[in-house]
Amino acid sequence: MGRQQVLGFAGLGSMGSAMAGRLVAAGYEVIAYDPDERALDAFKAAGGRAAGSAAEVGAVATIAFLSLPTPSVVKDVATGVRGLLSGAPVTEVIVDLSTSGPATAKEVAEALAARGVAFVDSPVSGGRAGALAGRLAMMVAGARPAVGRVQPILEHLGKVFNVGQAPGDAQTMKLLNNLLSVVALAASSEVLAVGVKAGLDPQVMLDVINASSGRNSATVDKIPRFVLPRTFDFGFATALSVKDIKLCLDEAAALGVPMLVGAAAQTMLGIAHASFGPQSDLTCIARVAEQWAGVEIGAGSAAQAVE
C-alpha cells in the first residue's frame, strides 16, 4: 500500500502538529482532527486534510495516530462513542504516540482487539524540536504484524526502538525516561543555584559539568538553551510533566518499588506547577531553585542576588 494509503491523526497540539506535518512532508496523505480550529487551519496550510471529528478520521484512515494530552482523552478517542471507531470506520491499526501509561495501553488494546483493530503503543521523546527535525526516540510495543505495518511510517519521525510486544511496554519505558529527565533537571537546577549563590559563573559551571561526570540532558540542553537566556520555552507544559511523573510513580508503587528520588523531583515539579501555572514550561523547575537560593541564574556572568 505504501504511501497511497490515507493516514489519520487525532491531536494537533505542540507535538502532534509537528509529527503530522512531518508525515505530510514525507508524501503521505494525512487527515487530522483537533477541536482547535486554529490548529486545523495551520495543518491545512501545511498540506494536510482537516476532518470535522475523530469519527471522520476513522472513516477514511486505515492507520490512525493519536497524540493526546491525557489517558482519559486517549481512551475516548480510541474507543469512545464519538471516537475513531464510532462512525463507519476503516481503521485497522491505531498507534498511540501519547504518554498515557501502561494501564491505559492495556485497556485500549483489549477494547480494540475485541473490534478487530490492532493497537501499537508508541510514546515519543525529544520534544517539539525533535519532532520537527524527525529526531524523536520512538518507543514501540505491539504485535509484530502491526508494528511491521507502522514502523516504516514511524521512521519518518525518528529512531524506532522495539521494546516489547505487550501493550504498555513502551509506555513503561517512556515514563521511566521522563522521570529520569525531570530528576536531572531538578538536581541540576539546585546545583546551579548553589553555585551562583557561592559566586560561580553558571556558564563556567556548565562547561565543567559537561566535561565531567555530572553531564546530563539538563546541563547539555535545557539549562543552557532555555534557563540561562531566561526564555523558559523548552516546549513541554508543567501540567503534562506532572501527569507523566504521577503515572510513573503510580506504576512503580503498583510494582512495589519505592522511588525516593523520583518522589523528591515530583515535589519540586509540583511547586513549579503551583507557582507558575499549569501551562508554564517544564524548565520553570529552575525558577523554584532560584527562589529558594535567592538568586537568578543568568547567562554570561555570576548572577546577582534577587531581592
Residues known to be catalytic: 174
Q: What is the CA radius of gyration of the chain?
A: 21
Residue type, 95: V
Q: Which helix (H) or strand (E) holds 56?
A: helix 54-58
DSSP codes, 107-155? HHHHHHHTTT-EEEE--EESHHHHHHHT-EEEEEES-HHHHHHHHHHHT
Count of CB atoms within 10 A of residue 142's CB? 28
- The candidate with the shortest Cα–Cα distance to 185, out of 252, 249, 241, is 241
d(CA 155, CA 152): 5
DSSP states along 3-32: GGSEEEEE--SHHHHHHHHHHHHTT-EEEE
Task: Determine the distance from the C-alpha atom of residue 74 to the mean position of all C-alpha atoms in its chain, rounded to a whole number.
Answer: 14
Q: What are phi and psi of 214, to 5 degrees?
A: -85, 0
Rounded alpha-carbon distances, angstroms, from residue 268 to 234, 263, 275, 288: 18, 9, 11, 7
Three cell numbers, residue 29 = 496523505
Q: Which residue type sits at 300?
A: G
Confirm if 286 and 241 have CB atoms less than 8 A apart.
no
Cell 546545583: give the residue.
191
Q: 47: which DSSP letter?
A: T
DSSP reduced 3-state for 201: coil
